[in-house]
Each structure stands twice: as C-alpha cells, then as structure tokens.
A and B are shown apart, each in its own frame.
Chain A
Amino acid sequence: MAVQAVLNAFLYCDEWDATGDSRELALSADSTALDATTFRAAVAADNGWEITQGGAKKFTGSFNGFWRAATTPAPDAELFTNLGVTGRVLTQGMRESEGTVAYLSRIAQISYREFGAYNTLAPFSLNVVGSHNPGLVRGALAKAAGAVSATGALGTGIQLGAVGASQFLYATFHLLVAATTITVVVESDDNSGFTTPTTRATIGPLTVAGGTWITPVAGAITDDWWRMRVTAITGTHTVAGAIGIQ
C-alpha cells in the first residue's frame, strides 16, 4: 500500500481539461443518518443508544485554481457560461495515470467565484453538486488526456471485473479538442489481450468538443477486462475517458 501526495490529480469537465488550471479539489459524498431508535432495540445491549440507518446519498465538490480567460476551454468561459447547467460530465481522480482510480459523475455547477487580492494570481473557485443518479461511480481512468489520430485501442485495458446482475457499466468520454469526427466504443473481453472483444457501448460519431455519459449497460456481463477503442476517426483529437462498474 502506498500513501500519496497530491501532485498530479486530474479533473475533466465536459470539454474542459481543468487539470492544468486547478490546484485543489475536494469531493464529498454523504448519506443521511436516519434515526431509527425505538423503545426496544433489536439487540438488547443497544437499548439506550441511538440506532442509525443510512438514507439518501448526495455528492458535492469544490475546486479552485488560477483564473484564466480564453476562447479555448478556460475557467472563466467554462464556469460562467455553465453556471446552473446540469448534467455536465465530470471525471476526476488523484493520479492522472491510466488504470488508476477515477470517479465518474454528472454535476451541476452551483457557484462560481473569481478574482481576489492585490498582488496575487487571480483565483477561481467553484462548487458543484451531483445532478443525476447515481451521484458518483468509482471506476478507473481508461484514457488520460492525450491526442489520438488513428483507429485502434485507446488508452489502457483495465481489469475492472465482471458486471454483476444488479450492477451497471458506466463510462465517461471527454472530447477535449475536436478535429473532424471520432467514434469510440467501450468493449470487454475475458483476457488482457482483448483477442475476442465485445462492444458494450458506442460513443459518437462526435464532431464537437464536449462530455459524454454513456447510457448505463445492465449486467450481468462475465467479461472482466475493459477498454476503449477508436473505430473511426478523421483528424487529430484530444480525448480522455474512464470506465466504472457499480
């Protein structure tokens, strides 16, 4: 086991690769602690003590970094324009390395703060809340932000495990810089070489930058290896993506 310093966390929000603009992130998930105490507890020893049961869950997040304005995705244009917009696709994690843990979510930006004191770098901060169910999916980064211009495997194959009968497959895809067109599939196999892959979801064809949250794919799926693959492409795009099972 290895603890880690926060040095190369990552944050993709729709078409905005916020990694290069951000310095701090804080993600919180909470479930309501419902008071289930009665005059007689199910276990006699618990009599006189509060009994708690989990209720609804919610996801909130906050991020901050250095303010910047540009025509390309930058904090100011992204955050001001999209204030109050729901369903934005957010993928984040604490290490931008393919195969490491990533959290997938769809969010609403509920606050945006910019500027500060004299003689400091202009800051920004924002707060988000989960806008859709499920609020947060734990998965892995399949493709770290990077350029792609050819068909074939995209990023790294990941052994996420099988999808149980009561579980779903989720994936996020961020077209950070768009060229002409790109189509990507999420596929699975029972081996790391992906010798007999099965397509589980198709993303695209995409022609403009933005985020995609695939329609969740219901289990059961016995394959345990997962990856993304480019099936059609024209031009050089910058993309990122993550896959999760929950």
Chain B
Amino acid sequence: MAVKALLSMFLSVGGTDISDHVRDCNVTADATALSSEAMGDAWEEVTGGVKSGMLNFTLLDDFAASSIDSIIWSAFNTGTNVAFEVRPDSAVVGTSNPKYTGSVHPGQWRMGGQYNTMAQKQLSWKISGALTRATS
C-alpha cells in the first residue's frame, strides 16, 4: 500500500466541481458509543448507535459570477441539503481512489479575512443521511 500526498483532491458540492478552490478538505464519520455494560461486567462495554459525519473544508474565496461565494451563499440561503462527493484524487474512482458521497446540510456561510491574507471560507457542514464509500 502507498501513502498518499494530497495534491489533487476532488470536491463537488451540489454537482459543481470546486476542487480548484479547495485548500483542505476532510470528512469525518462517527458512531455513537452507547454504554451497554450491566451487572457482572468489570469493564465498560459499548454498542454502536447512530452514525453521523461532517464535511469540513476550506476554500479560497471567489466572488466571480457563479463561483465560490455564489455557490456557497446559494446553498446556505436556500437551506436544503445538497449532494457532495469527495475523492482523495481527482483521477477516476477506483480501489485506491474511493469516492465518498452523501448529502450535507449547508449550515454555514463565511466571508472575510485579515488585510494582506487570502480571502477564504472555512466551513463545516453536517452530513445528513448515509455517507457512502464506493470504488467504482
């Protein structure tokens, strides 16, 4: 197996490929650890509960028509969940380049920055429903 340098990640939001503005991107998936020990157990036990996830990403901001600010604001302002896809590489999906897909609640919009820095948006959107991994 080979480790992977993240130089060409793929991220699409609402069907739009925004990879060329992505500075960093990660997906988290968590399962609730329900405490399930009972009398007679000397060690804590857990049972997996509901799963949830987050799509965290930082974008170089862009105010051109139909670009980053327009896309993010539109999703936020509309308020309905949007589809996303993340791949470690923009190359075709495969066993070494799985795609993670799902739906996210676009619950954050950001704008700003300090003088003489790049304008960026750092966003954390909550995944709604299943996070799916596929290799084809």
Contact = CB atoms under 8 A, between A and B. Distances in A.
A33 B130 contact: no
B83 interface: no
Contacts of A3: 21, 60-62, 118-119
A26 B77 contact: no
B133 to A, nearest CB: 12
Interface of B: 20-21, 50-53, 60-64, 67-69, 73, 76-77, 79-81, 105-119, 126-132
A5 B117 contact: yes
Contact of B64 (A1, A24, A46, A48): A1
Interface stretch (A37-45, A142-150, A194-202, A214-222): A37-45
Contacts of B119: 3-6, 94
A83 to B, nearest CB: 22
A24 B63 contact: no
A180 interface: no
Nearest to B20: A1
* Top 10 A-B residue pairs of the complex, sorted by shortest distance between their CB atoms: A46-B129, A6-B113, A26-B112, A52-B128, A3-B60, A50-B52, A54-B79, A24-B114, A29-B109, A52-B105
Contacts of B68: 1
A53 interface: yes
B126 A52 contact: yes
Given A3-B21, A31-B79, A50-B52, A101 B69 contact: yes
B112 A50 contact: no
Contact of B63 (A27, A43, A51, A95): A95
Contacts, number: 134
A146 to B, nearest CB: 21
A2 B60 CA distance: 9
B111 A50 contact: no
Given A1-B67, A52-B128, A28 B62 contact: no
B115 A6 contact: yes
A1 B52 contact: no
Contacts of B112: 6, 9, 24-27, 61, 94
Contacts of A173: none
B131 to A, nearest CB: 7
Contacts of B51: 48-50
B32 to A, nearest CB: 9
Contacts of A37: 50
B130 A1 contact: no
Contacts of A57: 76, 79
6 contacts: A1-B21, A3-B21, A31-B79, A49-B129, A93-B63, A94-B111
B110 A28 contact: yes
Given A4-B63, A30-B107, A54-B105, A48 B50 contact: yes
A138 interface: yes
B111 to A, nearest CB: 5
A117 interface: no
Nearest to B50: A50
A100 interface: yes
Nearest to A47: B130
Nearest to B23: A3
A218 to B, nearest CB: 18
Given A31-B107, A51-B128, A4 B80 contact: no
A97 to B, nearest CB: 10
B69 A41 contact: no
A246 interface: yes
Contacts of B50: 37, 48-50
A6 B116 contact: yes
